Structure 1
Amino acid sequence: MNRRNFLYNTAMLTAASAIAGKSAFAEAATAITPGIQLYMVKEDMARDAAGTLKQLGAMGYRQLESYGSDKGIFWGYTPAEFKKLAAGYGLTLVSTHYNPCTLAEFDQLAGQAASIGMKYLICPWLGPQPHIDAFKHFADDFNKRGAICKKHGLRFGYHPHDYPYKPVDGQLPVNVLLDHTDPALVDFQLDVYYTVTEGQDPYAYLKKYGNRFKLMHMRDVLKQRLPKGSEEESACDMGQGILNFPKLIAAGQAVGMHYFFVEQSRFYHETPLQSAKANISYMQKMRLV
C-alpha cells in the first residue's frame, strides 16, 4: 500500500467512525430548501442558461449558488435580469463564489449582489501556501471583505477545499482562518467531502466552531477510490457512499446552518444534469426537502 492510499484509507476509517458513532446532534434533519452550485452544470449553463435553470427548477431545486464563470456570476445578464429569469423557474440566487479581485472590485460586486437580495459572497480558493503566516494574512483580508459585505447588507464566507486540512508549519490552515477571522464578519462553508477525505471529523468542527459554518456543500464519498488519476477519485452521488446526510444536515442545522448546496464534479450518469436529478431524488426520498 503506497502512502497516498494509506492516508486515504486512514481518513475513511476516521470518517466512518465519526459518522457512525454517537453524536450530540439529532439524527433526523428538518427539511431544507434544496440548492445547487452552478459549477456542477457549468457546460449546460454556458450553452443555455435559461434552459438549464428551467430544468433545475423542474427537478425541485429552489436555491442557486453561482461562481465566476467566463460570463460572470450572472451569466451574461444584468443582476436584475438574472434574478427575474431564475424566479420564473422558482429559483433564487442566494450566494456566489467569486474570482480573485481587488477590494474596490469586490465592493462593486457586493453592491450588485445586494441589489437583488443575495445573501453571500464566498471566497472559493486560496491555494496551498508554504508558510502558515500566509493564511494569517488571508484572514486579515477576509475581515476587510467581510466589512465590505456588512456595509452592503451581505455576509462574507470562505469555502475550504482539501489543502486547508493539510498541515503547514504544524498547523491546519482552516483552523488558523477560523481562529483569526472575526465571527461578526466572516462565515464558512463546510464542504463535507473535503473534510472527510482529508481525515477530519465534520461533527468536531461543527461542535468546536459552532455557528461559524452557515453553508454546506454536499456530495458523497466512496468507500474505495476509483482508478488512480480519476478526477475527484472518491466522489459520488448522495446516498451512494458512506456519508449520513440526514445526520450531517441535522448537525449543521443545530448550530445555525442555513444553506445546503449539491456540488459535484465527477458524475456517474451521462450528463451532469442527470446527476443533479439523482441527488435531489435522494433528498426527496430521504425527506430532506
Structure 2
Amino acid sequence: MTNRRSFIKNTGLLALSLPLLKSNLLASSTQKKLPAIGIQLYMVKEDMAKDPAGTLAQLGKMGYTQIESYGGDKGIFWGMTNKEFSKLANDNGLTLISSHFAGNEEDFEKTAALAAEIGMKYLIYPWKGPQKDIDAFKRIAAEFNDYGAICQKNGIKFAYHPHDYPYKPVNGQLPIDVLLANTDKEFVDFQMDYYYTVTEGQDPETYIKKYRPRFRLCHLRDVLKERLPAGSEDESACDLGQGIINYPHLLSTALDNGMEYFFVEQSRFYHETPLQSARVNLDYLKNLKLV
C-alpha cells in the first residue's frame, strides 16, 4: 500500500511538473541571443600595430567571431592585401564584416571594390565633425547618398557612424534627424553608438524603432551613472553591465528592428590591457539574457 501511495504521489507530482518543464524548455529554446559578437579593432589598436596576427589570434581564442577595422596608418587591411588580411582573420575564426573609412570618392570606390571582393558587408563613414549650420548637414546627407551609390555599385553597403555632435542641436534641429531624413534608405544605413546617444540625452530605442531597419550595426560600451550629465566625453565610459544602459532590453529591441552586427568598442580601460577589457566585455555579452 505504501509503495502504491508513493507511486501515485510521485506520478501526480510529475504530471504537475511537466507543463512547467515544457514551459522552461520552450523559454530556453526561444531565448533571444546576439547572432555573433564582434569588436572594433580601434579598441586594441596598439596591439594590432605591434602584432596583427597575434592580436587576432587572441581575439579569436576569446570567442569573438566578427571584427570591424578602421582606416589607420596601415589602411583598413593593416598593411596586407585585402585577401591576406581576410585570410588571417578567417584562420583565427574571425570574419571581417566592416570597416570605418573616410576618403575622397576615388579612394572610396577603390576601397569599396577591395572590400566587396572579400565579402565584407559595410564601409562606414566615421566622422564629419560639428558644422556651423544645419544646411551643412543636408549637404553631408547628399554626399552620403553618393557614397552609398558607389558602395551599391561595387556590391557592398554604406553606413554612417554618428558620434556625439549629430545629437547636439544646430539651428533648432538635431543633425541626426536631418541626416536620417535626407539620406536615401536604399543607399545609407546607420551604426548606432549607444554611448553617444545616451550621453547626449537621446533614447536609442526611439531611433531604432522609428527608423527601422536603418540602424543595422552598433558599437557597445556603457556609461557611468555618476558621470552623467557630464556629456559624451570618454571619461564617462565603463565596461558593459557596469553602467546605466539597459542592454538586455535595448539589444532585444535592436534585434526586433533589423540590427545585425554588434561590436564592442571600449575607450576607457579598467583593466591592465585593452585585450583584458575585450575579454571582460565579451563575457558580459556571452552571458547576457535579452528581454
1:207 and 1:215 mapped to 2: Cα distance? 14
Cα 1:265–1:152 change in 2 (3 A) is same
* Aligned partner of 1:181 among 183, 204, 213: 183
Match in the other structure for 1:147: 149
Q: Percent identity?
A: 64
* Aligned partner of 1:79 among 70, 82, 88: 82
Match in the other structure for 2:57: 54
Q: Tell me the alpha carbon deviations over residues 220-279 of structure 1, each in whole angstroms, 9 at most, x when there is no partner.
A: 1110129x8996121001011111212111111111110000011111111100000000
For residue 157 of structure 1, give the secondary structure of its aligned residue in structure 2: strand
* Aligned partner of 2:273 among 271, 275, 281: 271
Larger relative contact order (C-alpha < 8 A, sep ≥ 6)? 1
Cα 1:252–1:172 change in 2 (3 A) is same
Equivalent AA in structure 1 for residue 99 of structure 2: T
For residue 249 of structure 1, give the secondary structure of its aligned residue in structure 2: helix
For residue 77 of structure 2, give the secondary structure of its aligned residue in structure 1: coil
Match in the other structure for 1:119: 121
TM-score, normalised with respect to structure 1: 0.87
Match status 1:68 vs 2:71: yes
Match in the other structure for 2:48: 45
Equivalent AA in structure 1 for residue 60 of structure 2: G
Contact 1:231–1:266 (CA<8 Å) still a contact in 2? Answer: no
For residue 235 of structure 2, give the secondary structure of its aligned residue in structure 1: coil
Match in the other structure for 2:21: none
Q: Tell me the alpha carbon deviations over residues 70-104 of structure 1, each in whole angstroms, 9 at most, x when there is no partner.
A: 111000110000011011100010000013x2111
Cα 1:202–1:64 change in 2 (3 A) is same
Contact 2:69–2:99 (CA<8 Å) still a contact in 1? Answer: yes
2:67 and 2:145 mapped to 1: Cα distance? 25
Equivalent AA in structure 1 for residue 213 of structure 2: N
* Aligned partner of 1:237 among 222, 236, 239: 239
Alignment gaps of 5+ in structure 2? 1-30
* Aligned partner of 1:216 among 215, 218, 228: 218
Contact 2:199–2:231 (CA<8 Å) still a contact in 1? Answer: no
TM-score, normalised with respect to structure 2: 0.86
Cα 1:180–1:230 change in 2 (3 A) is closer
Match status 1:31 vs 2:27: no
For residue 253 of structure 1, give the secondary structure of its aligned residue in structure 2: helix
Cα 1:134–1:229 change in 2 (3 A) is closer
For residue 75 of structure 1, give the secondary structure of its aligned residue in structure 2: coil
Equivalent AA in structure 2 for residue 207 of structure 1: K
Match status 1:90 vs 2:130: no
Contact 1:29–1:249 (CA<8 Å) still a contact in 2? Answer: no
For residue 121 of structure 1, give the secondary structure of its aligned residue in structure 2: strand
Alignment gaps of 5+ in structure 1? 1-27
Contact 1:191–1:216 (CA<8 Å) still a contact in 2? Answer: yes
RMSD: 1.6
In the comparison of the two structures, how many residue pairs are matched? 259
Match in the other structure for 1:251: 253
Structure having the larger proportion of residues in helix: 2
Please identify the structure whose Cα radius of gyration is greater: 2
